[in-house]
Amino acid sequence: MDIIFIRDLSIETTIGVYEWERGIRQSVVLDLELGTDVRRSAASGALEDALDYMAVATRLGAYVGGERWELVETLAERIAELLITEFHVPWLRLTLTKPAAVRGARAVGVRIERSAGGG
């Protein structure tokens, strides 16, 4: 399996469990590894044969930024579901970081791996 990756995709959204967080926008940062097979797109040179990482980034920006979230765990699961369903990604690894969420730490977050067959 080949991997398309997107690093440090920063998206502004409303996220948090505390009342003060629900009234502000904060950044979350995504690092994605998306399983795919690049042979077809490499041979054809055609975008329609590729996993379009610009389309992925644009869709995630609209989805993540357009909703309100409480837990980073919930957001990570919803992102994984979206990528598997809409972009037909058979496997992914996602690291979702919430910078400056804890005093004294640069960032906190969650890392998940999911596949189209579950797990």
Task: Give per-residue pLDDT as tens, 67-117.
Answer: 999 999 999 999 999 999 999 999 999 999 999 888 899 999 999 999 998
Query: How far apart, in whole angstroms, are the C-alpha atoms of residue 111 and residue 77?
Result: 10
Of 77, 57, 73, 56, the C-alpha closest to 11 is 57
Residue spans of the domains in the chain: they are: 2-115
Which fold would CATH assign to domain 2-115? GTP Cyclohydrolase I, domain 2 (3.30.1130)
Mean pLDDT within 37-41: 96
Mean pLDDT, residues 18-25:
93
* pLDDT at residue 101, rounded to an integer: 85
Supply the pLDDT for residue 119. 60
* Arithmetic mean of pLDDT, 48-63: 97
Is the pLDDT at 15 greater than 80? The verdict is yes
- pLDDT of amino acid 78: 98
Q: Please, what is the average pLDDT of the chain?
A: 96
CA dihedral for 55, 58, 86, 33, sign (positive or negative):
positive
Active site residues: 98
